Amino acid sequence: AARFAARFGYKIEEKTMQTMKNAAASIHEVSRERVRDELTKMLTEGRARRAFELLDESGLLVEVLPEIAKMKGVEQPPQFHPEGDVWVHTLMLLESLAPDCSPTLAWGALLHDVGKPPTFRIAPDRIRFDSHAEVGAKMAEVICRRFRFPNEETERIMELVSHHMRFPEVTRMRDSTLKRFLRMPNFPEHLELHRIDCGASHRDLGLYNFVSEKLQNLGEEEIRPAPLITGDDLIAIGYQPGPRFKEMLSACEDAQLEGQLGSKQQAMAWVKEHFPVKI
């Protein structure tokens, strides 16, 4: 009822709403997969905000997603979130979801700040949510497992939650760190989540534009260049295979991404200088 009312703009008749409230607790008799699929449809049919307002009004939200219900009344620092509490902010994100958006993006938007209620604290300078992205990613995993999401979708949703606070760092990132960030799997979803997150709060798209320009100006070869050397090359010049290879190759790739290395010969000399062969 909530999904169709939201989708078609219907008003739920008063007696029907009361019946929904009275029966809300019985939702646990429905399979978790069925509930998951209904929630996903609500999130991706273009009227997600209204659907979740109706879930809240009917008492179903606290039954199926108590972690989301706990967002209500959790204040945020007004200098970054003039729109209101975490619940209002999340509803605004849901309102920004395009019809037929990917289910993982939709769930990422719903859960991106799920870690804020348990990490809320009032610091001397302002309200803070220490490590809420990391806490939220763990909570998102629990929620996804509860609804029996496929492992791949669970990982994608967790990554959206865990990485959404990396965008404020992009202008200070080293070139190698930024390029690794830009080549993350499913990065367009991360960028779109950041865009609607900004639109539902301070409305400053400066970082979104910065990243978009970097993606446009940097070619695939710059973001994801072919490795200059491999483990076989290290063995050929006297290094013993082992766990250290990963560190050496990663460090060499960082130097390549920073523009310090451009050839295999340079990379081999760089490795010899920074990781001398142990005799």
- Give pLDDT tens digits along the chain (279 positions): 889 888 888 899 999 999 999 999 999 999 999 999 999 999 999 999 999 999 999 999 999 999 999 999 999 999 999 999 999 999 999 999 999 999 999 999 999 999 999 999 999 999 999 999 999 999 999 999 999 999 999 999 999 999 999 999 999 999 999 999 999 999 999 999 999 999 999 999 999 999 999 999 999 999 999 999 999 999 999 999 999 999 999 999 999 999 999 999 999 999 999 999 876
CA distance 127 to 84: 13
Helix spans in 28-163 (H): 32-44, 48-58, 61-64, 66-69, 86-96, 103-111, 116-119, 132-146, 151-163
Stated as kind and residue range, the H or E segment containing 3 is helix 2-8
In order of start, what are the domains of the chain with their CATH numbers? Answer: 2-222 (1.10.3090.10), 231-274 (no CATH)
CA distance 190 to 161: 9
